[in-house]
Amino acid sequence: MHLIALGSLLIGLAAGGQNHGTEPAVAMGKLDFMIGEWKGKQTFYIGNGREMVGDASDHAEWAVGKRFVEEHLSTSLTGRPATDTRHMLAYDPRADQYVAYWFNDTSPLPLVLTGKLNDGKLVLLTTSPSGGHNQLRFTYDGSTHNELSLTFEMETSGVWQTQFKTVYSK
């Protein structure tokens, strides 16, 4: 009887310990390019070839034992209060993808995004457009030393349109 219980326990531990993707610590370590104090410009593409440019900042740090990246982003435009945006980013080993919860000062609930890291770019997509909203894509590009860019795009009728791009430096 004890052997059956021990066998069941070992099988359960082996199944629970299977790696379904990259180890979270390894995956999160690959986001080290995001960490730091960043300053830059955010360019909004407002249609008809017109742009609005604001001053942008991004404070990104490791949180909760390096299990998450926590970001505090803000953009200042002339004549408007500075924005307040917070992001929590983690890695889900079972799904083998990054998961982000994005809170901002214009929405009552966070956006939930998932994505992958390829060639120094973290591409995150909204998990399910709802309420008539289009699919959204956020791309972090850390492929250039001491530079970080964040591009926000919206899919409309199958075409991705850039809404804004922020380029930061340390």
pLDDT of residue 22: 76
pLDDT of residue 74: 98
pLDDT of residue 13: 35
Contact 115, 98 (CB under 8 A): yes
Whole-angstrom distance, CA of residue 115 vs CA of residue 135: 13
| 170 residues of the chain, pLDDT tens digit each | 444 443 443 333 334 444 455 799 999 999 999 999 999 999 999 989 999 999 999 999 999 999 999 999 999 999 999 999 999 999 999 999 999 999 999 888 999 999 999 998 999 999 865 555 689 999 999 999 999 999 999 998 889 999 999 999 99
Q: Domain extents for the chain?
A: 23-169
- Of the chain, the end-to-end C-alpha distance in Å amounts to 63
- Return the HEC string of the chain: CHHHHHHHHHHHHHHHCCCCCCCHHHHHHCCHHHCEEEEEEEEEEEECCEEEEEEEEEEEEEECCCCEEEEEEEEECCCCCCCCEEEEEEEECCCCEEEEEEEECCCCCCEEEEEEEECCEEEEEECCCCCCCCCEEEEEECCCCCEEEEEEEEEECCEEEEEEEEEEEC
pLDDT of residue 133: 66
Q: In CATH, which of 3.60.21.10, 3.60.10.10, 2.40.128.20, 1.10.357.10 is domain 23-169?
A: 2.40.128.20
